[in-house]
Amino acid sequence: MGRNPESPIGVFDSGVGGLTVLLEIYRQMPWESVIYFGDTDRVPYGNRTAGEIITFVQEILDWFAAQQVKMVIMACNTSSALALEVVRPLYDFPILGLILPGARAAVQVGKRIGVLATTATVNSNAYGDAILESSQGKAQVWQVACPEFVPLIEQGRIFDPYTIAVARTYLRPLLARRIDTLVFGCTHYPHLAPIIREILPPSVRLVDPAVFVTQAALQELSLLGLSRPYPYHPGQTSFYVSGCPEQFAQLASRWLGEIPIVAKLVPSTVRLSS
């Protein structure tokens, strides 16, 4: 059969962060089918080394290749920052990351740009480089690593007073710089948008790279002749996680509005057995 317009798009993250990209796919191209993988057994990625992240990403991409996906969206900034350039030449399907679409969107609207991201993403300076390049050096960037956010979000503690206090601490240095734009440099963080919005002045623009990577995916599928053809029917999503499927299903239902059916998958096992 091979890859064709009816093939699914692969979307992955370390956990529920990638749902912010999945929801954008539902909004912008609801006719496409998706295979979603959350590496919940190994979350968080943000405290890991580049070597570990590249290994995990290759395992996941090998599995997606076996599923005959027509494209992969890395719904994970940490993977996009540390692994995208390494793995892209190794596969024969397009692989999209969040950093460039996010940086380009930010420089369209702001000059004093704050980025919240994982420690690994901040240390890579991927957003710093991409924003400076996209703005031809005209924008200023300040990045803050937020290692406490992903575990809190994976525990569903979105409106917990402790989470709000942590968010205030992370945003303080960006407020001191009088940022005009904030980039969610981790796909988990838009889940905190309601509390972050409350802490920032209303004039600060929020940029969610999920919106822009999905726009890029839509365009690229069309250019490659791989969009699902008219007449469109709603796409299907299959969910897989490496950790506990029930826990993921419960948490994900907050954002999906229904409890998804989730299967367990261990990527390295799949690789060894395939």
Judged by the rule CB under 6 A, the positions of this chain that interact with ligand DGL are 13-14, 17, 43-46, 76-78, 118, 121, 150, 186-188
| Residue 59 C-beta: closest distance to ligand DGL, Å | 15
Q: Which is nearer to ligand DGL, 182 or 226 (CB)?
A: 182
**How far apart, in whole angstroms, are the C-alpha atoms of residue 180 and residue 140?**
10
| Residue 143 C-beta: closest distance to ligand DGL, Å | 13
Q: Which is nearer to ligand DGL, 121 or 181 (CB)?
A: 121
Q: Which is nearer to ligand DGL, 118 or 242 (CB)?
A: 118
| Residue 46 C-beta: closest distance to ligand DGL, Å | 3
Of 186, 210, 226, 262, which residue is the catalytic one?
Answer: 186
Active site residue 76: yes
Of 76, 145, 166, 183, which residue is the catalytic one?
Answer: 76
Q: Which is nearer to ligand DGL, 16 or 226 (CB)?
A: 16
| Residue 99 C-beta: closest distance to ligand DGL, Å | 10
Q: Catalytic positions, please?
A: 76, 186
